[in-house]
């Protein structure tokens, strides 16, 4: 392995870049664990465009899109229990779907 490193050190910079690109998939890097930060809907409201109510978020985001179950608890948890969302994942999902969601829908 050290002979290979010596060879790479002696090559011109453009060839080193090519070698680096070639070896990139084989290099082991430490992956950070995804951060979980579970909050209630009141804290999520700050990151939703248009200052929507908790009931609006529950109806038009959590109920309307089944994939939200990956980053939220049951949207109808029952009396005395709150809905929790994983804030980093929820924010990213909302940013990715900002054009899909109709932000002007009125409450029924």
Instruction: Give per-residue pLDDT as tens, 25-67.
Output: 887 777 776 678 999 999 999 999 988 999 999 999 999 999 9
Q: What is the pLDDT of residue 33?
A: 67
Rounding to the nearest 10 degrees, give the CA dihedral for residues 59, 62, 66, 67: 150
Evaluate whether 72 touches 83 at the Cβ level (below 8 Å).
yes
Residue 94 above 90 pLDDT?
yes
Q: What is the pLDDT of residue 34?
A: 66
Locate tokens 């939703």: which residue?
Answer: 48
Helix (H, G, I), strand (E, B) or coil at 23: helix
**In terms of pLDDT, which residue wins out, 86 or 24?**
86
Backbone angles phi, psi at 52, to 5 degrees: -80, 155
At residue 101 the predicted structure's pLDDT band, cuts being 50, 70 and 90, is: very high
* Token output for 76: 């109808």
Terminal-to-terminal C-alpha distance of the chain = 68
């Amino acid at each position: 392995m050290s002979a290979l490193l010596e060879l790479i050190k002696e090559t011109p910079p453009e060839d080193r870049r090519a070698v680096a690109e070639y070896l990139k998939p084989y290099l082991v890097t430490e992956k950070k664990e995804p951060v979980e930060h579970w909050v209630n809907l009141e804290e999520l409201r700050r990151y939703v465009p248009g200052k929507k109510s908790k009931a609006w978020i529950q109806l038009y985001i959590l109920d309307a899109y089944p994939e939200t179950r990956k980053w939220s608890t049951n949207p109808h948890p029952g009396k005395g229990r709150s809905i929790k969302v994983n804030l980093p994942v929820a924010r990213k999902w909302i940013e990715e779907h900002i054009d899909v969601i109709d932000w002007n829908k009125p409450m029924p």
